[in-house]
Structure 1
Amino acid sequence: MDIKLICDSLSDIPDEIQAKEYLEVVPLTLIMDGKEYKDGVDISKEEFYKVVMEMEDIPKTSQATYGQFIEIFEKNINQGKKILYIAGSSTKSGTYQSAVLAKKDIDGDVHIFDTEQLSLGAGQYVIRACDMIEEGLSIEEIVEKLDEIRDSVEILFAPASFDFLKKSGRVPMATALIGSMLNIKPIFKMKDGEINLEAKVRGIKKLVANLVDLVIEKNKDNLSQLTVTIGYGCNLDDFNKLKKEVEEKLNGKVKRLMVTKGGVCICSHTGPDIVAISFSK
């Protein structure tokens, strides 16, 4: 196989996808209590969840660097590989730009694809690229088809609390206060590089039902074509409720159902107590 698939740790992907021998993940850096950790290298998701829930200050993240991309690009080009790098949203991190700068200084076949997504949303493109690599498509064909599914890719996510989003400035203070006082659970969506409020419900039972109902409502005419990924962090009880809802409403009705856990860099902004669902056709 002459294609090397690369993504960064802004993409949350199932374990069976991350284990593909032709895939490599470039880690971003987590800064916590004055120490730096490479996402998924120096600290695991489970270690992060445990530590971060006891911290007063939210961690910070730092983009993957030009040097990291130079190293990984050169290594694979020297091995005769064509490179496809699937990037977390260029509007939310400088990681994409680091790769673009590295590509300019490399003599080799490097393709860079901006997902305009994060977490499970960006992971949809990685999953689909793996399918196409294994089908034997060329790198040019893969990039073309990834662009064709862009309109169908979306992530819906709901943090259990507003603490992280509020401290990171990711939601307006008024929204956070309303949610805290009234037990309102907001559902956010990310599409085309922007995060917006999709819906508001009260209580976890209605939340997980609404998450799944939104997927069905948005894909009435092509449910059987969907690749669906559900994700969570440290909140296993909430995830089990979502999983049950998904199995009752989507199992056997969509093309594929997959599961993953929220990554270190994503959960440092949303908090690790989160549930999410993403889809593409």
Structure 2
Amino acid sequence: MKDIKIICDSLSDIPNELIEKYDIEVVPLTVILNEKEYKDGVDISNDEFYKTLREENVYPKTSQATYAQFKEVFEKYVNQGKRVLYIAGSSVATGTYQSAVMAKNDTDGEIYTYDSQAFSYVIGILVVEAARMASEGYDIDEIMKAIEELRDKTYVLFSVDTLEYLQKGGRISSTKAAIGSILNIKPILDIKNGLVAPVCQVRGKKNVISKMIELVKDNCGENLQDQTICIGYSDDFKERERLTEAVKAEFNPKDILYFQIGSCVGSHAGPGLTGIVCIKNK
């Protein structure tokens, strides 16, 4: 059925070419930078955002997408006779999902919501798959079942370059951040129960990629040749290329997809963020 409209929020970090290919509607969250509000990915580009963080030493904040935003979007597509599926960023970490549920309850029409319990392109993988299936005529129940299964198989790791932003956002204590900075500790993180969670830590940035590769092998297996591995980056293109080289050498995947980590996730992790998303094969 091609009357299904797939909607997500800007936490999903989907590359523009895929948004355009599948006609995905993205509801932006708000980023507050230097006391000025920007719609994520609309009023400020990712490159501009990270450049500001590097040059001005500022600590941005984020604000959830609102009831009014979702009400407008839901009504727009319901009035076109479409059924709506909204795939959300983690409800544990942001009130955006709750805004959508409230708007859904106040809107006449067939609207479905799915809490990904995730961030960044972990959401994006689900959204793109849902949009692909919708374009091929699958029904809503089939799509919901497929993305639930895909979510369970998706594996993510990422590493931050500085602990300052995690500390400012209350994710770690100031003592841990200070000690980590002195010892040049780089944490490797994943997502558990809808929140960022530590996996391990390494000394020095040069050891991050080898540890990530080791963890991917342990959790996903070594035979990933049949899949597209997704590599996330903020503004560190050299680290992106190093990770690309390691992924090609160790896994020889069918393809590599790059996604730039947007300003909402970047607000809490800072510049220099690198990540990998793949599917568990074991």
TM bucket, shorter chain = over 0.9
1:26 matches 2:32:
no
Inter-partner Cα distance in structure 1 for 2:272 and 2:222: 32
In the other structure, the counterpart of 2:256 is 257
TM-score by length of 1: 0.93
Question: Percent of pairs identical after alignment?
Answer: 46
Counterparts of 1:149-188 in structure 2, within 5 Å, are: 149-188=150-189
How many angstroms does 1:207 deviate by? Answer: 0.6
State the secondary structure of the residue aligned to 1:10: helix
How many angstroms does 1:129 deviate by? Answer: 1.5
In the other structure, the counterpart of 2:141 is 140
Inter-partner Cα distance in structure 2 for 1:171 and 1:250: 33
Inter-partner Cα distance in structure 1 for 2:10 and 2:211: 28
1:122 matches 2:123:
yes
How many angstroms does 1:256 deviate by? Answer: 4.5
Structure 2 residue ranges without an equivalent (≥5): none
In the other structure, the counterpart of 1:277 is 276
Inter-partner Cα distance in structure 2 for 1:70 and 1:175: 42
- Judge conservation of contact 1:3–1:22 (CA < 8 Å) in 2: no
- Judge conservation of contact 2:22–2:131 (CA < 8 Å) in 1: no
Inter-partner Cα distance in structure 1 for 2:135 and 2:256: 19
- Judge conservation of contact 1:120–1:277 (CA < 8 Å) in 2: no
State the secondary structure of the residue aligned to 1:223: coil
Q: 1:217 to 1:15 in 2, by over 3 A?
A: farther
Cα deviation 1:88-118 (Å, max 9, x = unaligned): 0000000000000000011111110100001
Inter-partner Cα distance in structure 2 for 1:257 and 1:56: 32
Inter-partner Cα distance in structure 1 for 2:137 and 2:217: 31
State the secondary structure of the residue aligned to 2:8: strand
- Judge conservation of contact 2:225–2:251 (CA < 8 Å) in 1: no
How many angstroms does 1:21 deviate by? Answer: 4.3
Aligned length: 279
TM-score by length of 2: 0.93
Inter-partner Cα distance in structure 1 for 2:220 and 2:52: 38
Counterparts of 1:62-211 in structure 2, within 5 Å, are: 62-211=63-212
- Judge conservation of contact 1:86–1:115 (CA < 8 Å) in 2: yes
How many angstroms does 1:150 deviate by? Answer: 2.6
- Judge conservation of contact 1:40–1:264 (CA < 8 Å) in 2: yes
How many angstroms does 1:172 deviate by? Answer: 2.9
Q: 1:222 to 1:133 in 2, by over 3 A?
A: farther
Moved more, 215-224 or 228-237: 215-224
Moved more, 165-174 or 99-108: 165-174
Inter-partner Cα distance in structure 2 for 1:145 and 1:19: 22
1:214 aligned partner, one-letter code:
L
- Judge conservation of contact 1:124–1:279 (CA < 8 Å) in 2: no
